[in-house]
Each structure stands twice: as C-alpha cells, then as structure tokens.
Amino acid sequence: MTLSPHTARLIAADALRRIRRYVWPPPPHHPHAPPRNRTYLRDRLIALPLLTVVAAASFGWAYAEVRADSAALHDSYLPALVDLADAEMSLRIADREAGRNLDAGESVRLSGLGTPYRTRTTRATQSLNQVSRSGALTTAERQDLDVIAGLVVDYGTWIAFAQSNVGDPALRDAGLSYARSMLCSAPGTAKDPGPGGYPPCPHTTGSDATAVVDRISALEGSLRGRLADRAELGAGVTAAAAVAVIALVLLVFGLWRTELFLHHRFRLRVGVPLLVAAVPLLAVPFLTADAVLAHRAQQRVTGTAGDLADRTSPRIESTRDERPFGRRHPLLIESLRGRAEHDLAAGRLSALDGAAPWVVPVGLLGAGLMGGSLHAYRREYVLIARSGAVA
C-alpha cells in the first residue's frame, strides 16, 4: 500500500503537532489545551515509556556495537595481524640464516643450518597456525593460509635439498634459488643483499602474487581493511546514536515537565516513582564517555596495524635476537603489539565492563516503572474527579 503525498504530509504534520504538544503543552486557557488533566497524564503515559524504550534500544545497540568492535580488534584482528607480520619476518630472517650457513660449505653438513634458522622456521609455522585459530579470517582466506603453510613446508624441503648438496655449488645454488623464489616473487641474492644483509623481497600483487610473502601481504591487506571498517562508527551506529540523542533529550524534558505538572496539579513535592525510573539516565554520560574512548582507541589501533604491515623489517626484528636485553625498537613487532593492546586497554572505563548487555533491560524496566506510576496517578485523578473532590 502506497501513501499519497497529501496523506504523507498530513501524517507528518500530525506527528509534529503531537511532538510539539509533548515538548511544550499549551496553557489551560489556550483553545487547543487539553480539557482535563487526565488527558495530559494519558499522553505522558504513552510518550514517556515509549521514549524510554526507543532511547534504551538505540543507545544500547550503538554502545554494544562500539564495545564489540574493541573486543574484535583485541581478540581477533590484532593478534592475526601480529602473527602474520611475525611469520613473514621470521621466514625472511630464516632465509638469510640459511644463505649464510650454506655459504660456509661442507661444515654445514655437520653443524646444520643453525639454531636461528630452526627457531625462526618453527616460529613462522606456529604464527601461521595461530592466525588460523584467531577467527579473523574468512573461509577463502583460511584456504589461502593453508596454501601458505604448504609453501612454507616446500620451502624447507628445498633448503634441505640445498644443504644435502652443499658440496655441489650448482645444485646448492639451484635449491636455494628455488626456495627463495617460493618465498619471494622477485628474490634478491646473497651477493646483492638489501638493508641489514637481507635480500630484498618486494611485494607483488595480482595474478603474479604467488609467493609466500605476497600471499601474506594480501592477507594483511584484507585484514587491515576489515579492521578499519570495524574501527569506523558506520552508518547504523551513527543513526542509532542520533535517534538515542533525540529520544533522550525529549525524555529528560518530558520527565521534567511531568514533575512540574505533578507538583502544581497534584501538590506533590516530587513524583518518587518517576524519579527512581530516571536514575539510570545518570549512567548515560559515563557510557557515552566510555564509547568515545573506545572509538578513539580503535582509530589509534588502525594506525598501529598499518605500521605492523608496512614499517616492520627483518633487520629490525633481528635486533631482538642479537640484543634481547637492549632498548626495544619502536617498530619491533612486540612493541607495536604492546602499544595497540595498551591503547585498547586505556580506551575504556574498566568499571563499565559488562554493562553493555544491561542497557536495554534496565531501559525496559524503567519504562515499565514510568508507565505503572503514571497509570496510578491517572487512576487516582479519575477516582478523585468522580467523587467530586476535584472540579
């Protein structure tokens, strides 16, 4: 059923007229004033509980969404990005260690590829497994992660091939080159090292992105995009917050006008039930401050996620192994993780942890209390009016 423009205008005008009468009722001598006090109480009996429900539902949903975004960043997206960055850096550090040890010649048969190589390859595998369990990946991304894990195993197989043929320079170099081509699409060589002695490993995109580092970079980009989306308020949360603000303003104003009405017409110093029902409104400023802090923390974590993917390097990460008790580099993966976790921890009022699920139930309880008290006032007024005690 489609409303005509004229009907829609009439409905909108009637709604605006009712809102205006709710916000500022006309005085008793006004021709459009309600003929009896019971009419005023009837309007309040409908309006105040309805506004309470709307405010509680919209504010509670928006607040719960902001809190849920912080929890998702802390529990899923941030750990996944940290583990992906750690896996990439560990593989590149292990690759340099493998090249160094293979250059040593026959001694590598006895000494092996060294503890740093074994430690870093094991750490990369563990990091990839943790990404899979983080819950941040889609089904397609988990399948791609399985491909990455398989390529890492094949990379280790070809490094072992180069180690077993270390006495034959041609086979050794062929095994090492093939392993590095699986790690990087355009790998450098040990004779042409990049910064810190690490062969360059530029990222490739599109159909040519088949190497391990390329696939990890693609996963990082996808996760960073979803993390940025979660860190934004979004149209739904913004609309719900706007509805909540309007409903709360009308509710507070309506409660104040109703208390004045009860004071002047019923000779009550204060309507205690209405006052009790309004007590939860005192928590709204604290919940709002908590949501603002959480949103600001999410924005800072978005920047930290960019640093994890774009500014970390194997040269910086290797300083942790070489100088474990030295000063921590600000772009070390562990330092960035600690910074992001500190931002998320500081971006909330800890006393309000667990408050989000209670906003709507408390609002419904307050609406019921308002409706019951106003119904009692109206019933009392009708009884008194019928008995002739009030004109």
Tokens of 178: 């093939």
Would you state the pLDDT for residue 382? Answer: 55
- 328 vs 160, higher pLDDT: 160
- 146 vs 165, higher pLDDT: 146
Q: Report helix angle 314-322 to 78-103, nearest 10.
A: 80
Report which of 206, 222, 193, 230 is spatially closest to residue 72, judged by C-alpha positions.
Answer: 230
Report, as an integer, the average pLDDT of 159-171.
86
Would you state the pLDDT for residue 61? Answer: 96
* Domain range list for the chain: 54-379
Report how far residue 379's alpha carbon sits from residue 385's, in angstroms, rounded to the nearest whole number: 10
Average per-residue pLDDT for the chain: 82
- 230 vs 322, higher pLDDT: 230
- 99 vs 88, higher pLDDT: 88
- Region of 355 please: left (phi>0), alpha (psi -120 to 50) or beta: alpha
pLDDT at 1 over 60: no
Would you state the pLDDT for residue 34? Answer: 47
Report, as an integer, the average pLDDT of 216-220.
92
pLDDT at 10 over 60: yes
Continuous segment of H or E residues that includes residue 241: helix 234-265
Report how far residue 362's alpha carbon sits from residue 5's, in angstroms, rounded to the nearest whole number: 40
Report, as an integer, the average pLDDT of 307-333.
78
Phi, psi at residue 233, to the nearest 5°? Answer: -65, -40
The three-state secondary structure class of 112 is coil
Report, as an integer, the average pLDDT of 219-232.
93
Percent of the chain whose pLDDT exceeds 90: 44
Would you state the pLDDT for residue 391? Answer: 41
Tokens of 52: 């309470």
Report, as an integer, the average pLDDT of 282-290.
94
CB 377 within 8 A of CB 268: no
Report, as an integer, the average pLDDT of 163-171.
85
Would you state the pLDDT for residue 35? Answer: 42
Would you state the pLDDT for residue 28? Answer: 46
pLDDT at 202 over 80: no
Report, as an integer, the average pLDDT of 73-99.
93
Report, as an integer, the average pLDDT of 324-329.
67
Report, as an integer, the average pLDDT of 154-169.
88
Would you state the pLDDT for residue 29? Answer: 46
Condensed to tens digits (0 to 9), the pLDDT of residues 292-307 reads: 999 999 999 999 999 9
- 92 vs 46, higher pLDDT: 92
Report, as an integer, the average pLDDT of 124-134.
94
Instruction: Categorize the per-residue pLDDT at 196 as very low, low, confident or very high, splitting at 50, 70 and 90.
Output: low
pLDDT at 327 over 80: no
Percent of the chain whose pLDDT exceeds 70: 79
- 59 vs 168, higher pLDDT: 59
Distances from the Cα of 116 to the Cα of 39, 48, 214, 321, angstroms:
82, 68, 23, 9
pLDDT at 31 over 60: no
Would you state the pLDDT for residue 240? Answer: 95
- Reduced DSSP (H G I as helix, E B as strand, rest coil) percent helix, strand, coil of the chain, to 5: 80, 0, 20
Report how far residue 266's alpha carbon sits from residue 259's, in angstroms, rounded to the nearest whole number: 10
- 274 vs 209, higher pLDDT: 274
